[in-house]
Chain A
Amino acid sequence: MIYLIQIDEKTIQCEIDNDIYNDRVITKTLYWLSNNYTIYQTKSGKGNIVKFEKHIGVFDDNEVASLKSKISQNLIDFKTRDIVNQETKSIREILLIKAFANNDDFEDYNLIINNKA
């Protein structure tokens, strides 16, 4: 659950727990929100304090609700993507090497050993 606090009519703040979401996930989440807001991010203990300052106009209730929903959804989705990326880093490298290496230049035995292990 993400809690948003309205600092003033143009600024919203939230705290994101680093134990749950790592910096990669938080950065990617904020990236997709940075077209509408100037984003200030500071570290505080295990958390990330993030301030969203509107480029134009002021926040209304609908926008606060929408922002909260987007942050929550993006954090979950980017965390899922991050797990996929981390868990499949090696297999992706193997796939690309196999795809582009000349057959004679690439020996498979290391893969077989690793796979058995």
Chain B
Amino acid sequence: MDYSLLPFRFERIEDSEIIVNEVGDFLICPTGTSKNIVERNIKEEDSIYKDLIANHIISIATIPALIDNLAARYRTKKAFLDSFTVLHIFVMTIRCNQNCIYCQASSRTSDQVNYDISIETLNYAIDLMFQSPSPHLTMEFQGGEPTIAFEKLKYAIEKTEEINIKKNKIITYVLCTNSVSFSDEILDLCLKYKILISTSLDGPEFIHNQNRGKSDSYQKVVQGINIARDKLGFDKISALMTTSNYSLDYPKEIIDSYIENNFSNIFIRALNPYGLAQNNDNWEKYNHSFIEFYKTALDYIIDINKRGIYFEESFTTLILKKILTPFSTGFVDLQSPAGLINSVIVYNYDGCVYASDESRMLAEHNDFTFRLGTVKDKYNDIFYGEKSLEIANTWANEALAGCSDCAYQTYCGADPVRNYTTQNNMNGFRPTSLFCKKNKAIIEHVFLLLITRNEEVMPVFKNWLNKN
């Protein structure tokens, strides 16, 4: 049969083969289909022929008639690059009032004031932020616990508002807080500037308190969440969970606690190998257990939705958006080119600028590999400097060994910081990469659900996609 090939990748998945084209369209086929395609064994009368044409896997013409359409769709998949750096993280302090067993930020106790950002650093950092070409900016305040440095937080927002009278950017403020000590003045500030609150809730009381190293943390967090909801509005507060080793045995209990606390979604998030979490004694075992935890949790969540309760697993929604829609996501941890620098930048409390949140976590252990400069440096020297160019060599999975042929490339991302942290070089080594194993397993699981339980899961998944 005379047809031309279009770029596609494939992977064996159980008894089938998944074929994915350059823009993420996929076909589930019998094993051996790709080989048959390249050997020109597919005939026009074969039932799969039209599917292969329709999904831009083969083409009758050398240059397909819809090449412009394909190009537009490719551009849409990479739309997160259009505005360059949108998310600007300000590490206000690394002081904290909690004692989390997996702390990834190497926080200090509340009385160590030397770990707060200075007004001078804030001024320089805000100036850099406004040099970003993006018309939308997200200014995210992190720690430690950023509300401990309340006066600096207030100053940063007021300064930004003042400058923005002339700059006219659309700015979203996000406060990442443990919510255990909201004062009226914090909530008044949040109300005045429509600040979104991102908090941490690891599950029911016995898990949350165990993870936080405090006996009253859960009670305070839940109280804080409810106070913030009353004052700011229900939709202004979102929560994130981290799956500690202890959490792994309790997927259903964790989901139930989110529902009990009136959340309509959960983001099942694995531990990252930074800060105290780095001390985890067996990452291979943890990774394997986390994947099983995720599958059990997702099954449970699907059952909840089938009973008529809307409850979403947000990581799955991100993957589904990549698989089932033409759009990109703003999720910086799963992008190619990677989220660091392209989508996110970090201004640390000490005046240094880092490529990502994880990069500054490494710096707390005296590893400054991903330090791009200081807030006093010029914008171009930071964002387009030698260090950024060095990182750029490894930030696209299209050009990484082991990723370049992977069928899931379009749905996945590159993470030079993770590669460096866990495998000692930014390129990484896919056969032993736990980042690769985890993402591949989760993406494969989502595909298997779409293949084997389509009628059951699609109404639920579509519901999640429609809400996002």
A88 engages B67 (CB within 8 Å): no
Say yes or no for A40: interface residue by CB 8 A criterion: no
Say yes or no for B309: interface residue by CB 8 A criterion: no
If A81-B34, A88-B6, A115-B63 are given as contacts, then 18 extra A-B residue pairs at C-beta distance below 8 Å, sorted by A number, are: A31-B401, A31-B430, A32-B431, A34-B431, A81-B9, A83-B5, A87-B38, A88-B7, A88-B8, A91-B4, A94-B67, A95-B70, A95-B71, A96-B71, A98-B71, A99-B72, A99-B78, A114-B63
Say yes or no for B303: interface residue by CB 8 A criterion: no
- Smallest beta-carbon distance A4→chain B, Å: 20
A83 to B8, CA, bound (A): 11
A98-B405 contact in complex given A31-B431, A81-B9, C-beta closer than 8 Å: no
Say yes or no for A23: interface residue by CB 8 A criterion: no
On chain A, the residues within 8 Å of B9 by CB distance are: 81, 84
Interface residues of A in 75-117 (CB under 8 A from B): 76-78, 80-81, 83-85, 87-88, 91-92, 94-96, 98-100, 111, 114-115
Interface size on B, residues (CB 8 A): 31
Say yes or no for A28: interface residue by CB 8 A criterion: yes
- Smallest beta-carbon distance A61→chain B, Å: 23
A31 engages B38 (CB within 8 Å): no
- Smallest beta-carbon distance A83→chain B, Å: 4
Main secondary structure of the interface of A (DSSP, over half): helix
Question: Count of A-B contacts with CB under 8 A?
Answer: 80
A115 to B72, CA, bound (A): 20
A95-B10 contact in complex given A83-B38, A115-B62, C-beta closer than 8 Å: no
> Measuring CB to CB, which residues of chain B are less than 8 angstroms from any residue of chain A?
4-10, 12, 22, 34-35, 38, 61-64, 67-68, 70-72, 74-75, 78, 401-402, 405, 429-432
A13 to B8, CA, bound (A): 33
A35 to B401, CA, bound (A): 14
A98 engages B68 (CB within 8 Å): yes
On chain A, the residues within 8 Å of B67 by CB distance are: 91, 94-95, 98, 111
B74 engages A95 (CB within 8 Å): yes
Minimum CB distance partner of A100 in chain B = B75
- Smallest beta-carbon distance B9→chain A, Å: 7
Q: List 7 A-B contacts (CB under 8 A).
A: A83-B5, A84-B5, A87-B5, A88-B7, A95-B71, A98-B71, A99-B78
A80-B34 contact in complex given A92-B7, A94-B63, A114-B63, C-beta closer than 8 Å: yes
Q: Which of B6, B61, B70, B432 contacts A35 (CB 8 A)?
A: B432
- Smallest beta-carbon distance B379→chain A, Å: 23
Q: Which of A34, A35, A76, A87 contacts B35 (CB 8 A)?
A: A76
Minimum CB distance partner of A86 in chain B = B5
Interface residues of A in 38-89 (CB under 8 A from B): 73, 76-78, 80-81, 83-85, 87-88
Minimum CB distance partner of A81 in chain B = B405
On chain B, the residues within 8 Å of A96 by CB distance are: 71, 74
A94 to B344, CA, bound (A): 30
On chain B, the residues within 8 Å of A34 by CB distance are: 431
- Smallest beta-carbon distance A49→chain B, Å: 22
- Smallest beta-carbon distance A70→chain B, Å: 12
A99-B71 contact in complex given A32-B431, A88-B7, C-beta closer than 8 Å: yes
A77-B401 contact in complex given A31-B431, A84-B38, C-beta closer than 8 Å: no
A77-B12 contact in complex given A31-B402, A84-B38, A91-B63, C-beta closer than 8 Å: yes
